Amino acid sequence: MKKTVRAVAILALLNTCAYAQEQDSTKVNSLDEVVISDTKFAQSKEKSGKVIEVISATDLENKAGQNLATVLSQVVGVEINGNQSANGKNLGYYIRGGKNRQILILIDGIPVTDASGISLEYDLRLLPVEQVERIEVMKGAASTLYGTGAATGVINITLKKATKKALEGNAYINIGSNNTAFDNKYNGQDFNQGISVNGNADKVNFFAGFNSTETGNMSQIAAPSSGLNYEEDIFSRQNVLTKLGFKATEKLTLDFFGNYDKIKNNYDGTFDNTGFNDIAVNTTSSEQFRVGFLPKYKYNKGELNINAAFNQITRDYNEFNSFTTTTDYSLYESRSAIVDAFNKYQFNEEFFLVTGINYQFHDMLSETPFGNLERENTKFSMVDPYVTLVYTSKFGLNINAGSRLNVHSEYGNNWVYNFNPSYNFKTSFPLKVLASYSTAFITPSLYQLYSEYGNTSLTPEDNTTVEAGFETELLRKNLKLNVVGFYRDQNNSIDFYFDPNTFDAYYINIDGKNKAKGIETGLSYAITNTLLLNANYTFTQVDEALNRLIPKHKVNSSIDFQPTNRTLFNVSYQYFDARNDVFFDGNTFATNKVKLGSYQLFNAMIKQELIKNRLTLFGSVTNILNEEFTENIGYSTRGRNFKLGVNIVL
């Protein structure tokens, strides 16, 4: 099947004509750029009270060959742990000392989650970056607008849609190696290919895309020595995305979407005190089906939007049981329905009001060797009314303030609010100073409430974040700089309790506060018309209870050199400070701490437009120095690897 899919993609690639817009690699984020994440409606960054990191379509094209997790891990203040490991390795998301459940992921403005997961997080491995048009990353508490989970950051992903052309097609294929630092196989172990078609005619537009990814050669678990080879853990993914838009009237548009995503891979046992558990028979798959309807109505003084979606995710595991020497089967299935209706009313040029109501329903079932959970006993719903007032003055003062009431079917009501002023100084260079005070909450998951370890007395975890900083543009807007400092209190944290004497185990709320603080700074300097420098630095300091897999210091930097409008050279550097990790001791039932060393990575890429507006090639090499490093204790990481790709757009 994989060979057939690959052959179809290659044939489509070789027989499709191309169109590719000329890109300017020196384009950088500007204060007049449009963002949407902090109000749900488009406005310039100058009027936003946040420093919002934007990854544009151009940025994504200039990161050809990278996956979504690797792209996001280069954003200041963001760490996606596992992006340098084998593709089947689960990912950990870290923003401002918060992990997975405290980071909300949106796809086309709609929250996505796996309601059967322990922490309700969404699996970014399901999404191919080639189907992504744009990403906004907004850090800090944002529950006022987005509800549960938006405690330390929001990752707002916009998928591709129809262009303005009557008919347009695209095909691409990437082939690369997939080595650890101890391997030197360069015969192709990483394949990524896809095709898409879109069109726009009068009142109707559409987009349809298909992606397939297959990788091999790497084992998830790391061999205890460089001379020992473990079996490869194969990873595969298939994605189908469809969008349909209809312009009913000049004021009313109707958009529909549907997508199917599936990943399947082998995986190894976890690292523990017994060493390395290389297991050939473990397999897992995750299957996602999403459909949605997004009508939009514009009127004289405002705009009404409804984002409605249904999401079903099914995960299964076939895992070797070392105690019974048999293979255990587990199944988890979740369903989520979300309706978010929100309206913008413009009182005048300076004031507008965003009001909305969000409804969410989640349920799950599971079948495991330890027992089953039925849908009728494992569900909850939320109804959240919210309001945000936005003031943008002519003299420079901007204020974003709002509140939200979370009405939960299981634990009652919960209020959150935010106050976010900023000021644009009318100087010879653009300068925006900002500050905010925001609260957020994280809902206990269905698993934490109802599983064999569940506790129906759990209440939401809550967070309070204070931040201040500035954003400016100097040297005729060639130099762009932003600095933000933050402080966060985390209260009522949800944790897992285990008594090694009685074997009692269940989820609890922890009394007291945990703190996180840090500084995020980003710089972009267009040295010349052909040479661009980008760099960012993140400092994060957290209390001991939060301090796992979070580097205290992290640096990303890159240089783009574009000698012609068809050629781009990129060299990048990343530094990751030492991090804490833990592993489980099966003899003492204790969790042992370990210190992971710091590491640095050098990467390079060249992109060439061979036929103007038709054919583009790229080549890349990652971890050029073939550095051996560890992301998670006991797990493999990538060494030096090469990748080649070709893109044709009709």
In a 10 Å sphere around its CB, with 0-12 CB exposed, 13-18 middle and 19+ buried, how is residue 533 labelled?
A: middle
- CA dist 228 and 276 (Å) reads 12
pLDDT score for 78 = 95
Kindly report the backbone phi and psi dihedral angles of residue 447, in degrees, each rounded to the nearest multiple of 5, phi listed first.
-65, -45
**pLDDT band (50, 70, 90) for residue 380:** very high
pLDDT at 8: 35
Q: Where exactly are the structural domains of the chain?
A: 2-649
Asked if the model's pLDDT at residue 2 lies above 60, the reply is no
DSSP string covering 563-576: EETTEEEEEEEEEE
E strand or H helix at 311: strand 302-321
List, for residues 448-480, the tens digit of each pLDDT value: 999 889 999 898 999 999 999 999 999 888 999
pLDDT of 512 reads: 83
Q: Is 557 in contact with 534 (CB distance < 8 Å)? A: yes
pLDDT digits (tens, 9 = 90+) for 129-155: 999 999 999 999 999 999 999 999 999
Could you write out the three-class secondary structure of 34-45? EECCCCCCCEEH
DSSP alpha helix (H) spans, 45-189: 57-61, 68-72, 143-146
Distances from the Cα of 351 to the Cα of 215, 475, 514, angstroms: 52, 33, 37
pLDDT of residue 325: 77
Query: What is the C-alpha separation between 431 and 436, in angstroms, rounded?
Result: 17
pLDDT at 106: 96
Burial of 372 (0-12, 13-18, 19+ CB in 10 A): exposed
Examine the pLDDT at 323 and tell me if it is beyond 90: no
Mean local confidence (pLDDT), 631-648: 94
Query: Dmax of the chain from CA atoms?
Result: 74
2-649 adopts what CATH topology?
Answer: Maltoporin; Chain A (2.40.170)
Cβ atoms within 10 Å of 423's Cβ, excluding its own: 17
Which of 101, 105, 97, 96 lies closest to 458, judged by CA?
Answer: 101
Tokens 């998301």 locate to 93
What is the pLDDT, as a whole number, of residue 29? 58
Which tens digits make up the pLDDT trace of 152-197?
999 999 999 998 889 999 999 999 999 999 888 888 899 999 999 9
**pLDDT at residue 275, as a whole number:** 55
Give pLDDT, residue 340.
Answer: 97
- Between CA 591 and CA 584 the distance in angstroms is 5
pLDDT above 70 coverage of the chain, percent: 93
Dist CA 465 CA 440 (whole Å): 8
Report residue 349: phi and psi, to 5°.
-65, -20
Give residue 359's pLDDT.
Answer: 97
Q: What is the pLDDT of residues 12-25, one digit of tens each?
A: 333 333 333 333 33
The Cβ of residue 412 has, within 10 Å, a number of other Cβ atoms equal to 10
- Report which of residues 280 and 249 the model is more confident about: 249
Q: Is 190 helix (H, G, I), strand (E, B) or coil?
A: strand
CB 361 within 8 A of CB 375: no
Average pLDDT over residues 278-301: 92
Query: Please, which pLDDT band fits residue 74 given cuts at 50, 70 and 90?
Result: very high
Q: Give the pLDDT confidence score for residue 7 in this predicted structure.
A: 37
Taking Cα atoms as reference points, which of 403, 393, 390, 402 lies closest to residue 346? 390
In this prediction the pTM is 0.92
Residues 520 and 535: beta-carbon distance below 8 Å: no
Q: How confident is the model at residue 326 (pLDDT cuts 50, 70, 90)?
A: confident
CB 321 within 8 A of CB 346: no
pLDDT, tens digit, 9 for 90 and up, residues 545-586: 889 999 999 999 999 999 999 999 999 999 999 999 988 776
- Rounded to whole angstroms, how far apart are CA atoms 513 and 301? 44
Beta carbons of 139 and 118 less than 8 angstroms apart:
no
pLDDT of res. 271 = 66
Residue 474 CA neighbour count, 13 Å, CB half: 10
Is residue 546 within 8 A of residue 79, CB to CB? The reply is: no
Write out the two tokens for 444: 């206990």
Whole-number average pLDDT of the chain: 89
Range of lowest pLDDT (28-32, 47-51, 62-66, 644-648): 28-32
Q: Are strands 531-542 and 553-564 parallel, antiparallel or unpaired?
A: antiparallel
The encoded tokens of residue 300 equal 């004289």
**Phi, psi values for residue 144, rounded to 5°:** -60, -45
CA 173 to chain CA mean position, Å = 23
- CA 261/CA 287 separation, integer angstroms: 6
**Among 85, 105, 106, which residue's Cα sits nearest to residue 93?**
105
Residue pair 447/371 in contact (Cβ under 8 Å)? The answer is no
Write down the residue that tokens 């969404």 correspond to: 122
Burial category of 501 from C-beta neighbours within 10 Å (exposed 0-12, middle 13-18, buried 19 and up)? exposed
Q: What is the DSSP string of 354-383?
A: EEEEEEEEEEEEEEETTEEE-GGGSEEEEE
The pLDDT of residue 371 is: 86
Cβ-count burial 240-273 (b if 16+ within 10 Å, e if not): ebebbbeeeeeeebebebebebbbbbbbbbebbe
Residues 255-282 pLDDT 10s: 999 999 999 999 887 766 555 577 777 8
Distances (CA, A) of 105 to 129, 414, 418, 549: 15, 21, 20, 20
pLDDT in tens, 197-240: 999 998 999 999 999 999 999 988 887 766 667 888 999 999 99
- Scan for tokens 């009913």, then name that residue: 248
Whole-angstrom distance, CA of residue 95 vs CA of residue 103: 7
Distance set, CA 308 to CA 108, 302, 355 (Å): 11, 20, 16
The confidence score (pLDDT) of residue 584 equals 74
User: In whole angstroms, what is the distance from residue 418 CA to residue 143 CA?
Assistant: 9
Q: What is the pLDDT of residues 84-104, one digit of tens each?
A: 999 989 999 999 999 998 999
Of 23-37, 261-275, 509-523, the range with the lowest mean pLDDT is 23-37
